[in-house]
């Protein structure tokens, strides 16, 4: 088999890239290790920046998001029981869309099916060959048979644990990493959210987040230790740990109920540099990870894909490799800014240090954020997403 671009991974990065390339008549095949149902069963964040929304519209998959998504013009931060609101609309004239990544992935899959573009699910033993030459190949097994896909380029969109980044010799890659000594325990419930807007909670007992998927479905998170066993978190314990961290109004409005999903995610910051190796281009979680505070993971995957799709279109339509040659540098500039913001929000809101100096710095920073128009504007500018 032969294609122009072999895409490894059918997460948001791979699917969105496939859709944008298809729009421009560039042939692509997606190889995904899991089944489509498995990909759709993963619950991830759900805050979509304006620039990401625009890109989804360009890819022709934004209709359901605009219909069912919730436009949020601000966000709330609760510090030790007192809630503060930051208005994106007033500060920077923008908003974000709250729409679950699961729904978005489904829209991308439906778009791909409608376009008739090929995706191989349950592709086993995916391996990259000759990436430093002009004739790269990808081998894999599907339905018990060995296959080989010849291509011009490989897009490594296979997430943090994927095979693409690992195919590059370790000496060619710089891994920048910071691991936080904590995780997020998240639950999804069919109960109405406590507020119309997300509430990020800083509390002596630890961080919490009240988020949502719809007016009838909520997503809550609690800071937890990395050693935490999910079996020791029955729903009742989750609610009992959440309640004291909230302000009085949110506590009074909290509707508890059985969880329909519960999981623990570790917090990690990671950036691999560069993001290009010959014919291999990394995009999304394959190249970088942010802690979920600030919800930048999906949005960063989208911005990588935007730079890469434009570069590939330039290559095929205009016979220019300028975009491909600067892909890594351009993508990393935006990645590092989102890494900075996610790290900053994580350090600002979690109980990480027992040192009173660190605690007081957190409180001073928060007080400055609520009192200074300049600080609030910088926050809003980053939260709604920096321009491409
Ligand atoms: N071969 C083929 N596919 C693979 C392989 C492999 N060896 N390894 C991983 N994959 C697939 C995974 O099964 C997954 O479906 O690659 C996909 C990667 O998807 P994501 O992990 O969602 O990464 P990405 O598309 O970059 O999305 C980034 O979405 O998933 C969130 O937390 C993530 O918010 C971030 C954003
Ligand atoms: C979510 O709704 O899952 C969510 C929202 C905001 C975040 C992280 C996760 O910062």
Query: Residue 191's pLDDT is what?
Result: 98
State the pairing for strand pair 28-31/119-120.
parallel
Question: Phi, psi at residue 368, to the nearest 5°?
Answer: -65, -45
Q: Is any atom of ligand 1 closer than 6 Å to the C-beta of 9?
A: yes
Quick one: 40 exposed, middle or buried, by C-beta within 10 A (0-12, 13-18, 19+)?
middle
Question: Given this model, what pLDDT does residue 41 score?
Answer: 86
359 by Cβ neighbours in 10 Å (0-12 / 13-18 / 19+) ranks as middle
Residue 128 and residue 136 in contact, taking contact as beta carbons nearer than 8 Å: yes
User: pTM for the full model?
Assistant: 0.97
Nearest residue by C-alpha to atom 4 in ligand 2: 45
Q: Which residues contact 173 (CB under 8 A, 6 or more apart)?
A: 165, 272, 273, 274, 277
- Closest ligand 1 atom number to CA of residue 286: 26
pLDDT of residue 279: 98
Residues forming beta bridges with residue 146, ordered by sequence position: 141
The span from the CA of 182 to the CA of 108, in Å, is 32
Q: Is the CB of 33 under 6 A from ligand 1?
A: yes
Residue 263 CB–ligand 1 contact under 6 Å? no
Ligand 1 centroid from CA 174, angstroms: 21
In terms of Cα–Cα distance, which of 95, 101, 88, 119 is closest to 22?
Answer: 119
**Strand pairing class (259-273; 288-289):** antiparallel
- Ranges of the chain whose pLDDT falls below 50: none
Measured in angstroms, how far is the CA atom of residue 47 from the centroid of ligand 2?
6
33 Cα to the center of ligand 2, angstroms: 26
Residue whose structure tokens are 């279109």 = 313
Residues labelled catalytic:
72, 200, 292, 296, 383
- Strand (E) or helix (H) holding 31: strand 28-31
Identify which ligand lies nearest to the alpha carbon of 122: 1
Ligand 2 atom having least distance to the Cα of 212: 2
Per-residue pLDDT, 44: 83
- Residue-wise pLDDT for 7-60, tens only, equals 999 999 999 999 999 999 999 999 999 999 999 988 888 899 999 999 999 999
Residue 284 Cβ inside 6 Å of ligand 1? The answer reads: yes
Cis geometry, peptide bond prior to residue 50 (ω within 30 degrees of 0): no
Give CA 117 to chain center in angstroms.
Answer: 24
Q: What is the pLDDT of residue 43?
A: 80
Kindly identify the ligand whose nearest atom is closest to the C-alpha of 220.
2
Q: What tokens does 237 get?
A: 């314990």
* Per-residue pLDDT at 335: 98
Q: How far is the CA of 373 from the centre of ligand 1 (A)?
A: 38
Q: How far is the CA of 292 from the centre of ligand 2 (A)?
A: 7
* Residue 11 near residue 39 (C-beta atoms within 8 A): yes
């Amino acid at each position: 088999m032969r294609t122009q671009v072999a895409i490894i991974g059918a997460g948001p990065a791979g699917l969105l890239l496939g859709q944008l390339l298809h729009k421009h008549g560039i042939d692509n095949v997606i190889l995904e290790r899991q089944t489509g149902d498995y990909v759709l069963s993963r619950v991830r964040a759900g805050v979509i920046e304006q620039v990401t929304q625009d890109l989804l519209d360009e890819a022709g998959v934004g209709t359901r998001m605009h219909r069912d998504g919730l436009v949020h013009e601000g966000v709330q931060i609760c510090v030790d029981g007192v809630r503060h609101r930051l208005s994106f609309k007033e500060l920077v004239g923008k908003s974000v869309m709250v729409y679950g990544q699961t729904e978005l992935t489904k829209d991308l899959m439906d778009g791909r099916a409608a376009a008739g573009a090929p995706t191989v699910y349950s592709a086993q033993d995916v391996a990259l060959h000759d990436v430093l030459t002009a004739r790269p190949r990808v081998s894999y097994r599907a339905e018990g048979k060995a296959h080989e896909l010849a291509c011009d380029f490989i897009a490594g969109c296979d997430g943090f644990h994927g095979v693409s980044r690992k195919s590059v010799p370790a000496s060619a890659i710089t891994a920048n990493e910071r691991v936080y000594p904590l995780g997020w325990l998240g639950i999804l419930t069919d109960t109405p959210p406590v507020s119309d807007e997300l509430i990020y909670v800083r509390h002596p007992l630890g961080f919490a987040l009240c988020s949502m998927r719809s007016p009838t479905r909520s997503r809550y998170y609690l800071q937890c230790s990395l050693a935490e066993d999910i079996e020791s978190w029955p729903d009742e314990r989750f609610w009992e740990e959440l309640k004291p961290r909230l302000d009085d109004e949110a506590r009074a409005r909290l509707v508890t109920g059985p969880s329909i999903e519960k999981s623990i995610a570790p917090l990690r910051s990671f950036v691999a540099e560069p993001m290009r190796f010959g014919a291999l281009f990394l995009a999304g979680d394959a190249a970088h990870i942010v802690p979920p505070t600030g919800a930048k993971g999906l949005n960063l995957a989208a911005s990588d894909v935007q730079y890469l799709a434009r570069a590939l279109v330039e290559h095929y339509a205009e016979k220019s490799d300028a975009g491909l040659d600067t892909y890594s540098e351009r993508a990393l500039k935006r990645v590092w800014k989102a890494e900075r913001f996610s790290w900053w929000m994580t350090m600002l809101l979690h109980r990480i240090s027992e040192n009173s100096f660190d605690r007081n710095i957190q409180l001073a920073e928060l007080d400055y954020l609520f009192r200074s128009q300049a600080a609030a504007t910088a926050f809003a500018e980053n939260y709604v997403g920096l321009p491409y």
